[in-house]
Every structure is written in structure tokens, then in C-alpha cells.
Structure 1
Amino acid sequence: MPSTETFRIPTHRRHVPTARHYVRKALAGWGITDELAERATLSANELVTNAVSHCRVSHARVRVTLILCHGELVLEVSDPDRDRLPSPRCPGLDEEGGRGLALVDALADAWGHRQGPYTKTVWARFTLPLPETPHVLDHP
């Protein structure tokens, strides 16, 4: 059975650190505190930043969902601006923004988006590392 954590934040940049905190806390609760946690938290930061920066629906909330199931971690960030779909950009060297989706692409094993009747969801998927098995020596 999958483990799921969901929380909502207002669509304002000052709440992005709150989203990072909740993601780290949920991952730590599942025992994920390594490099995977850092990649997922940074991806959440970028996807939430995009959602709060580009959502044009007044008084909206961004929903962040983490799903741990069958060796995968899925991060979903949803907002009610269903028609403004994410599109990777190639920003100039002097531009401050525009690299978030490229970063998520580099950090996640896969990412994409889907439209619902009233929302859009941008997701990133991470494969959990296989547990290490003790090395067994062969005996003659």
C-alpha cells in the first residue's frame, strides 16, 4: 500500500520555504534522508516556485503530494491554473530565472504534467535506491 503525504500552501513566494520544510519532514518520516531527499526537495522547490509564480487564479492554493510506492517516490505539485502548462525555456546567461524545469529534468528520473478538470499537476518521479545486501564470500 502506498504511503502518501499531502499539504497545501498559498500561492505566494514567501510560502516556498514552508513547502521545502514539509517535503523534508515527510521524506525523513519515511527514512529518506540521503541524496534522494536532496534531489526531491530541490525539485519540489522548483515546481512550487513555478506554481506560485505563474498561477493566475486569485486566492489559490498549491497542493503538494508525495507518494512512496513500489520503489518509487513521486512528487506532484498541483494548482488551479489548468491552462498554463509548463514549458522548459532556454534563458539567456544574464537571466535570473527560467531554469527550474531543466533542473527538475536533471534531478528526477522522469517528469511531466497532466491536466485535470480544474487543475494542472506537474510531477517528478524518483527511483529509490536498492537496499544494499551484505557481501557474501564464496567458500570452496
Structure 2
Amino acid sequence: MNQENSTQPLAPARHFSVLLSSTPRGAHLARFLATEWLRTWGLPPGIIGTAEHLVAELAANAATHGRLPGRDFRLALHATTEALRIEVTDTRGSDLPRYQFPSPEAVSGRGLVLVDALADRWGVELGPVPRKTVWTELDLLPVE
């Protein structure tokens, strides 16, 4: 007997996590690894592109502002059917990100403005000491 099921089984949650050096090279590697993992998970190209920009910004911030000699940062990706969560954890919990609009002449300082524009949600979680995690989420809407 052939029965049609109108509901699709939920895909399992997917996770990826890696420690990277708090250097420009580590930030570049974070972007590359995230992009490759998201492609293997079969996420839509638009989500992958947005996530790539978010990872690049958060990893660059961790390598620049969250850097302590000899300490790495962690990139973690979590995908469910509803959302993609990107987390970057560094060991400088006392140095919280500041959302600010830089002057037009400034050559840096627009990172969180970009994160706010691209992500559906973002925030900062403290701990355990001395860590902080900056996270973003992108909603994954079903394709119809």
C-alpha cells in the first residue's frame, strides 16, 4: 500500500566547531571552513553568502580585539531546520563589542553595523571567565 506523508522528517541538527589561532590567518581560515561546511550541509547560496560575511566579521574581530597571546578563538556553527547560529568565542571577556557608527572618514569600526544589518539576531554571552561569545542567527525559511 502506498501512502503519502504530507510531513517531511526533520533533518538532524548539524554542528561544526574548531579552534583557530587569533591571527589574520586564523580569521581567514574560519571564513573558508565555515563556507565549505555550509555548502556540504546543502544550505541555500544566499544563506551561505550572508553567513560567510558574518563569520568573516566576527572572526576578524576575535583576531583583532579579542586576541591574547597564546590563546585561540573558537568558531562554532549550529544549523537546524529553523536557523543557522554562528558563534565566535574568544578569551577577552572584559572587552565587549561596542555598536557604534564610525565617522565617514574612518577606515574601520563598521563591523557590528554590518552584523546588525545582515543577521536576524545577534548578541554577546559572557563566560566562563575569561571568555565571551559573540553570536548571530539567520532564519532558515522553507523553500516553497
Q: How does 1:34-113 map to 2 (within 5 A)?
A: 34-113=45-124
Deviation at residue 89 of structure 1 after TM alignment: 1.7
CA deviations 1:10-68 (Å, max 9, x no partner) are 01112222111100011011101411111111001001111110124221111000001
How big is the shift at 1:117?
A: 1.7
Where does residue 9 of structure 2 map in the other structure?
Answer: none
Q: CA deviation at 1:131?
A: 2.1
What is the aligned-residue identity percentage?
A: 33
Task: Provide the rounded CA distance (Å) in 2 between the counterparts of 1:35 and 1:10.
Answer: 28
Residue number in structure 1 paired with 2:139: 127
Equivalent residues, number: 132
Closer/same/farther in 2, CA of residues 37 and 109 from structure 1, 3 Å limit? same
The alignment partner of 2:77 has SS state of strand
Mapped to 2, the partners of 1:21 and 1:33 lie a distance apart of 17
User: Equivalents in 2 of 1:60, 1:125: separation in Å?
Assistant: 25
Instruction: Quote the residue 1:28 is aligned against.
Output: 39
Aligned-pair distance for 1:70?
3.7
Alpha-carbon RMSD across the aligned residues, in angstroms, is 1.2
Aligned position for 1:11: 22
Q: Which amino acid aligns with 2:141?
A: P
Deviation at 1:71? Answer: 1.1
Q: CA deviation at 1:125?
A: 0.4
Cα distance, 1:129 vs structure 2: 2.1
Structure 2 gap segments, 5+ residues each: 1-11
Q: Could you state the TM-score of these two structures normalised by the residue count of structure 2?
A: 0.87
Could you state the TM-score of these two structures normalised by the residue count of structure 1? 0.89
Match of 1:136 in 2: none
